[in-house]
Structure 1
Amino acid sequence: MGIKVIFLCAGYGTRLERDLLNSKEHKDLLGVAKAMLPIGGRPLIAHWMDSLAENGEFEHFYMTTNSRFYSQFQKLVKEYDSCLSVLNDGTTCNEDRLGAVASINFAIEEFKLENDDVLIIGGDTLFYNDFDMKKFVSKFNDLKSNTKNCGLVTTYTCKEDETTKYGILEVDQNGKVKSLIEKPQPCETKSRLACPCFYLLSSDCSSFIKQFLDERKHSPLKEKDATGHLIKYLIANCNIHSYQISGRFDVGGLQSYEECNDYFCK
């Protein structure tokens, strides 16, 4: 069976919306889901889907979104026909959002993906053009053939003053992830490996997602929202390895959107 892809597109883009309201430019982007923002003439998420569609390893795309943006993603369903399914989580505002980890589990349960390997991609993330999907999948397949409960997560080297913005991975000489430190000061770790939301998990590893949520069902949303919390949990229970990339765009605000769009317009 092929790898299933889950796109996380259920966020409300509050920071980007704030930037747009305070800017004289790009007013036409107000109300557009981050994953649907035009990047180099195509919706952001379509860049991933076009790339993945060329790789025979990926069998189907699944997308979680919310009631506010659900209709926007229906345009993609028409374009990609039978290979894309979109799931509305029923929420209407940032305050009642499910959170990223719950969105992953929601997709797995609703689409019955418990026995599938899954690639999880944040809907506001794009990698540089030199990212090689085939090499990434090949490394995962090698890992899976040698160990159970495995996952492959991407990392890139961030600047020293950026460690406080990201989850930072500490890895051993073989690339196995030892720990994730959430937004540390530079003095707290020698590592500068930031970990974006791009994870390929074997089916036996992804089963720990529900376990993670069950153990935190009475915890505040902030303790189970960010996917970094899930990765910490998986590190303790599974064999998680890292895959180095050259960099990525995190389209969370207007400046990062403009940088990403300029890059893909070249």
Structure 2
Amino acid sequence: MKSIVLAAGYATRLYPLTLNRPKPLLPVAGQPMLEHVLAALAPVRDITHVYIVTNARFADQFEQWARTRGSHAPFPCTVVNDGTTDDSNKRGAIGDIHFVLETQGVDDDLVIIAGDNLFSEPLAGFGEYCRQRHAPVLGVYDVGDLEQIKKYNAISTDADGRIRFFEEKPAQPRSTLTGIALYYYPRQTLPLIRQYVAEGNNPDQPGRLVQWMYTRTPFYTWRVPGLWFDIGSKETLEEADRIFRELARGRAGGAGA
């Protein structure tokens, strides 16, 4: 099993923090956000390699991270430069997934996660559920606010957790459950990703691939435990920093007990 960390965005909403620094390398509780992402993935059995896909503007900083701190990561990591330089020529998240598949010769089960999504709980259960299903799986989270859903997507499932309705950025959401940037695509579904791109579909938000694919093959959901942070503003960055510092203190206190 391989994993792709999506880290090629330009995070203009976080300027000036991200003007000269990629969002996934901003510090949260004293360490780069990316390291929290990899730590959440660490308990997912069978991941043998992680591809961190970024852009030409920030590739050097990720390479520097790989040389200095990457050796302590739970998996071997390869930084993949998608060759883009700004929002005007970006490939989009799905475009970047496809770019990694093609340039790195990936032909394996695949876990995809956004480099700015933080989890208070490890994702071991996600890995177990994906192995049981051996079908595409989307991580879902209850944001508790219909207005928030308008920024993400609306989703409904049957009793078995299979997606029955999915709409990216809905105008009139009816549920507070949303799909987040945590995906599992078993090897047999990779041709569908290539087909999506070849047909000229929107290569940007990764949820659009889910919206397209769930009508073509069974697509299941897994509820994310604990807290989930989508770091899209200075406020959510500060909140995540505070919560992760509290979690670190709690773990340190527990270890000393």
Normalised TM-score (structure 2) = 0.88
Asked if structure 2 preserves the Cα contact closer than 8 Å seen for 1:64 and 1:107, the reply is: yes
**2:44–2:127 Cα contact (<8 Å) kept:** no
More helix by share: 1
Poorly superposed stretches of 4+, deviation over 6 Å: none
Instruction: Indicate whether 1:224 and 2:208 are aligned.
Output: no
Residue 191 of structure 2 aligns with an amino acid whose one-letter code is S
Q: Is the 8 A contact 1:205 1:234 kept in 2?
A: no
Q: Secondary structure at the match of 1:191?
A: coil
Distance in structure 2 (CA, Å) of the matches to 1:141 and 1:193: 23
Tell me if the contact between 2:155 and 2:175 (Cα under 8 Å) persists in the aligned partners: yes
Classify 1:98/1:30 alpha carbon distance in 2 versus 1 (closer, same or farther; 3 Å): closer
Quick one: distance in 2 between partners of 1:56 and 1:119?
A: 11
Match of 1:97 in 2: 90
Match of 1:152 among 137, 141, 149: 137
Aligned pair partner of 2:110 in 96, 109, 118: 118
**Are residues 1:233 and 2:212 paired?**
yes
Instruction: Give the AA of the match of 1:204.
Output: Q
Aligned to 1:141: 131
Q: How many angstroms apart in 1 are the aligned matches of 2:136 and 2:13?
A: 30
Q: 1:94 Cα shift? A: 1.1
- Given that 2:39 and 2:122 are in contact with CA atoms closer than 8 Å, whether structure 1 keeps it comes out as no
Change (3 A) 1:59 1:173: same
Counterpart amino acid of residue 231 in structure 2: V
Distance 2:208 2:44 in 1: 30
Count residues with an aligned counterpart.
Answer: 240
Q: Which amino acid aligns with 2:214?
A: I
Question: Equivalent residue for 1:147?
Answer: none
The aligned residue for residue 35 of structure 1 is 24
Structure 1: tracts of 5 or more residues without a match: 21-26, 145-149
Give the Å deviation of 1:52.
Answer: 2.9
Task: Give the Cα–Cα distance (whole angstroms) in 2 for the partners of residues 204 and 157 of structure 1.
Answer: 29
Extract unaligned runs of 5+ from structure 2: 247-257
2:52 pairs, out of 63, 79, 86, with 63
Provide the rounded CA distance (Å) in 1 between the counterparts of 2:157 and 2:175: 8
Identity among equivalent pairs (%): 29
The question of 1:16 aligning with 2:14 is answered yes
- Partner SS for 1:195: strand
Q: Which residue of 1 aligns with 2:251?
A: none
Residue 205 of structure 1 aligns with which residue?
Answer: 189
RMSD, aligned α-carbons: 1.7
CA drift of 1:189 comes to 4.6
3-state SS of paired residue (2:219): strand
1:212 maps to amino acid:
Y
Give the alignment's TM-score, normalised by structure 1: 0.85
